[in-house]
Amino acid sequence: MATYPRKPRAAFLNWCRVHDNVFSEHAAQLGLSDEEAKAFKTATLIAKNRLLEQRAAQEAALVATQRVKAVFGYLEKTAGNTVRTIRAFAEMSNDPNAVYAIAQIPPPADPSPQRPPVRPSDLSVQLNPTAGTLALRWKATNPVGTSGTSYIIRRRLPGQAEFAFIGVAGKKSFVDDTLVAGTKSAQYTVQGQRADLAGPVSPIFAVHFGKLPSGERTARVTTRTVDAAVVAPRNAQTPAPIGGLQTV
């Protein structure tokens, strides 16, 4: 066990402050000269004062940092308002580029064309045997900066030639509550839509219903490649050939 704590500094300083009087009062009994005891007491006092100075400087630095942060926040807001005013004036003038040149700020860039939604993938399902509903979830990582994507869900049941629209979702999940009891399988596709931009159709997600030994109903998903014409009733009369089956 150490004679005195080296870390943290506050604990070490506290030990020294407790012992400086002991060493001074009992110097002769401890084999210390008056100069040695005095030197220890002086060193303890100096360390205490320097620590107090450090803490005061840290608090002052914290206050200064908060002040700088606040003033720069105000400066950013003011700069934004100023630039917006100049841009508005420039767009109303006969020669906007001349205004931007005087202000030494770039004119607004032409907006880049919006990219269509990505192709949904990785469908997962959760069956509610009591309610007879099927909750669908899928993945779709759309381009950064885009918003307002909705998803069109289509379904084809056994014996049906075409996929039929069954709903639209504003998020990457949907509950199909129109399945008829006793349905053995159902095929789904999901397609992203943003304004007038339609994304590619997902693979065909085939959901197969079954029963566990306990009698509980289950659902599992397989996926197949799909041609967009398969899921658009206005473009197809019969299903197009489908690629190989892959369990997911």
Whether residue 191 contacts residue 118, with contact meaning beta carbons closer than 8 Å, is answered with no
CB within 8 Å of 167: residues ≥ 6 apart: 153, 174, 176
CATH class of the region 121-247? mainly beta
DSSP 138-198: EE--PPTT----EEEEEEE-TT-SS-EEEEEESSSEEEE--PPTT--EEEEEEEEEETTEE
State the pTM of this model: 0.50
Pairing state of beta strands 121-128 and 133-139? antiparallel
Q: pLDDT of 146-201, one tens digit each? A: 788 999 999 999 999 999 999 999 999 999 999 988 889 999 999 999 888 899 99
Q: What are phi and psi of 47, to 5 degrees?
A: -60, -40
> Could you state, in order of their start, the residue ranges of all structural domains in the chain?
9-88, 121-247
Q: pLDDT of 19-70, one tens digit each? A: 988 998 898 888 999 999 999 999 999 999 999 999 999 999 999 999 999 9
